[in-house]
Structure 1
Amino acid sequence: MSDAQKPIYGGQAVMEGVMFGGKRSLVTAIRRKDQTIEYFHSKRKSSPFLTKLKKIPFLRGIAAIIEASANGTMHLNFSSERYDLDPSEDATLAEKKESRLSLVLGVATLGVLSFLFGKVLFTLIPVFLAQLTRPIFSSDLSQILIEGLFKLILLLVYIYVISQTPLIKRVFQYHGAEHKVINAYENQLPLTVENVQKSSRLHYRCGSSFILFTVIVGVFVYMLVPLDPLWLRIVDRLLLIPVVLGIAFEVLQLTNKVRDIPVLRFLGYPGLWLQLLTTKEPSDDQVEVAIASFNELLRIESEDIQTEDKIV
């Protein structure tokens, strides 16, 4: 199979595990307290409206973010409920009154809302901080640059602080394991622990890169709208969130497409540098979980294709 035909896979780290997503399915593998590996499967869900949006440049990024937030939060919820629970206590989970359907819908909606709430805070706090420097940096250009600087500092400080907690450090290790598996797969290496560990923990398509690109893109987009008065600046920033997200997504896709071109691969370097904070070198047993998750996804996707072929 050529690189052009090869499916594109992505994923995310969860509590004590890794989620991988393909065209049709998503799979999470986690390490339980008794050292066994447990899986959680789900079909990739997307509304007809989002499916249409994903075909439109600059809008497809918004659709992809909403879908990823909804699907990813479901799997993160699974891992957070079970990773620290002894398998003998699994029966307690089954006693929950809430139906699975309402649980899935509730968690998915919570994931999308949490992302939007975080994005609003991340957008507005730098605005107020920059406004405080008006007496020193009075020009519009300097204000936009200062705002972008505050946003970058806020991002880096936040990531650094949470990375110091043991729990998040392990999540970042699984994040590194996820990237290593994808890199090994894309380089057509057998997915053994040894091969995966030799692969890079950085990847051009990472969501961490996307977050950084929103900061960079925002600086240029904000140059097109007025800064005064303050209320208008706030309204502009809120209304431009979808625009910034949409453009940043296209930039992310572009850097991934040109990563093998020597003159252009540097375009993705800022995102890779941020990943030095958001990923950590994983242990062999963490890599084993990531490989198990990815292989399970490949198995399920293969079965889906065979089923479709029989139906046809």
Structure 2
Amino acid sequence: MKYSGIGGQAVIEGIMMQNGNDYAIAVRKPDGEIEVKKDTYESVTKKVKCLGMPFIRGIFSFVDSMVVGIRALTWSCSFFEDDEEAEAGKIEKWMERLFGEKLEGILTTFVMIVSFVMAVGIFMLLPLLIAGVCRRFIHSGTGMAVLEGVIRIIIFIAYIKLVSRMKDIKRTFMYHGSEHKCINCIEHGLELTVENVRASSKEHKRCGTSFIMFVMIISILFFMVIRTDVIWLRMLSRIILIPVIAGVSYELLRFAGRHDSRAVNILSRPGMWMQGLTTTEPDDSMIEVAIAAVEAVFDWRAYLNENFPGWQENKALEEERGTVSHDHGAAVPAGE
């Protein structure tokens, strides 16, 4: 495996792929056609150099990924609105008059804040309160930290299991699998075809699910050391330490994604196991969408030429043996 620098996420009936400042969203529209939109987003860590320092860049990179992710999700949803010609409601009209062109940015910020608050409440504070019930029976600070961490993981698994029952989420998890399989295909030196992508792994070390798993494990280690008997101080510590835990977790994820060794693979294994909940094997039509998103922002042929010399000769040998099939269907770029 050789690091490519590309990453992405699944959206509604599609994939977003990002390479540096460039990102592309490919969506399978209701009529079966693939439409691709390409755009740019400059990370705040590049605009403000000090924010790009190790252990600081993690929290800001997470914010960047949320901004791009919400933009991609909003665009993909626009193809599947129930009634596109329905008249806007009074509140929507009022907000459009009040904020004008800034409305989309304001709504994005609002969604991010609400999502963050809910995540902190469900995955940081709730486990603390549940574990607190057992404090009278467990007098070890280490034991309480481990119990809280285990409860946090159980809540996360239960949450994923619950949302995965929804039809749209099931398909999103399939697109998530196609995203990983595309990146794995390229980073293991294979031509980007439906057949090669289908044969690649649906787990990847740089996945956001792995990041969440790192956060949960690192939080256990932090809270083993940082202890207090005052409940409101314990709750405050869970909130204040989020940027620190996220920063450390990001560095571990970044290191794991750029290296391939036995030790790194062991470090990544819990996150890879957890990806079994958030990724599902895609069908070929989903793989085609993922390939379209990759090709809009990444020259995978140049990457293979640089990192895997001779890949074309291997392809020629496979073609002689009749093991390589035709390329995927073309995508239609979206209008500006």
The answer to which structure, 1 or 2, has the higher relative contact order (CA under 8 A, 6+ apart) is 2
Deviation at 1:224, TM superposition (A): 2.3
State the AA in 2 paired with 1:185.
Answer: I
Deviation at 1:117, TM superposition (A): 1.4
State the AA in 2 paired with 1:230.
Answer: I
2:15–2:293 Cα contact (<8 Å) kept: yes
Partner residue, 1:106:
106
Note the 1:67-86 alignment, pairs <5 A: 67-83=64-80
Match of 2:14 among 17, 26, 29: 17
CA separation of 1:262 and 1:142: change in aligned 2, threshold 3 A: closer
State the AA in 1 paired with 2:159.
Answer: Y
CA distance in 2, matches of 1:40, 1:173: 21
Partner residue, 1:35:
32
Deviation at 1:90, TM superposition (A): 8.1
CA distance in 2, matches of 1:42, 1:75: 10
CA distance in 1, matches of 2:273, 2:45: 36
Tell me whether 1:232 sits opposite 2:233 in the alignment.
yes
Partner residue, 1:309:
none
Tell me whether 1:287 sits opposite 2:287 in the alignment.
yes
Partner residue, 2:136:
135
2:205–2:256 Cα contact (<8 Å) kept: yes
CA separation of 1:84 and 1:280: change in aligned 2, threshold 3 A: farther
2:14–2:286 Cα contact (<8 Å) kept: yes
Partner residue, 2:159:
158
CA distance in 2, matches of 1:173, 1:167: 10
State the AA in 2 paired with 1:8.
Answer: G
Tell me whether 1:244 sits opposite 2:241 in the alignment.
no
Moved more, 234-243 or 38-47: 38-47
Tell me whether 1:172 sits opposite 2:176 in the alignment.
no
Deviation at 1:139, TM superposition (A): 2.1
Deviation at 1:108, TM superposition (A): 3.2
Aligned residues: 292
Root-mean-square deviation (CA, aligned residues, Å) is 2.5
CA distance in 2, matches of 1:195, 1:225: 48
Q: State the percentage of identical aligned residues.
A: 36
Deviation at 1:294, TM superposition (A): 1.0
CA separation of 1:185 and 1:51: change in aligned 2, threshold 3 A: farther
CA separation of 1:64 and 1:297: change in aligned 2, threshold 3 A: same
Deviation at 1:85, TM superposition (A): 5.9
State the AA in 1 paired with 2:23.
Answer: L
Deviation at 1:112, TM superposition (A): 2.8
CA separation of 1:190 and 1:199: change in aligned 2, threshold 3 A: same
Q: Which runs of 5+ in 2 are unaligned?
A: 303-336
Q: Provide TM-score, normalisation by structure 1.
A: 0.86
1:204–1:256 Cα contact (<8 Å) kept: yes
CA separation of 1:101 and 1:178: change in aligned 2, threshold 3 A: farther
Moved more, 72-81 or 114-123: 114-123
Q: Secondary structure at the match of 2:206?
A: coil
Partner residue, 1:305:
none
Moved more, 11-20 or 138-147: 138-147
CA distance in 1, matches of 2:184, 2:80: 26
1:193–1:287 Cα contact (<8 Å) kept: yes
CA distance in 1, matches of 2:14, 2:241: 35
State the AA in 2 paired with 1:186.
Answer: E
1:40–1:75 Cα contact (<8 Å) kept: no
CA separation of 1:91 and 1:47: change in aligned 2, threshold 3 A: farther
Q: Provide TM-score, normalisation by structure 2.
A: 0.80
CA separation of 1:75 and 1:107: change in aligned 2, threshold 3 A: farther
CA distance in 1, matches of 2:40, 2:59: 20
Note the 1:159-238 alignment, pairs <5 A: 159-238=160-239
State the AA in 1 paired with 2:172.
Answer: V
> Per-residue displacement from partner, 1:118-139 (whole Å, max 9, x unpaired)?
3311110001001111122232
1:54–1:64 Cα contact (<8 Å) kept: no
CA distance in 1, matches of 2:72, 2:164: 21
2:45–2:52 Cα contact (<8 Å) kept: no
Partner residue, 1:307:
none
CA distance in 2, matches of 1:108, 1:70: 7
Q: Which runs of 5+ in 1 are unaligned?
A: 303-312
Deviation at 1:111, TM superposition (A): 4.3
State the AA in 2 paired with 1:166.
Answer: K
Q: Secondary structure at the match of 1:167?
A: helix
State the AA in 2 paired with 1:159.
Answer: I
Note the 1:271-286 alignment, pairs <5 A: 271-286=271-286
CA distance in 2, matches of 1:90, 1:27: 27
Moved more, 260-269 or 9-18: 260-269
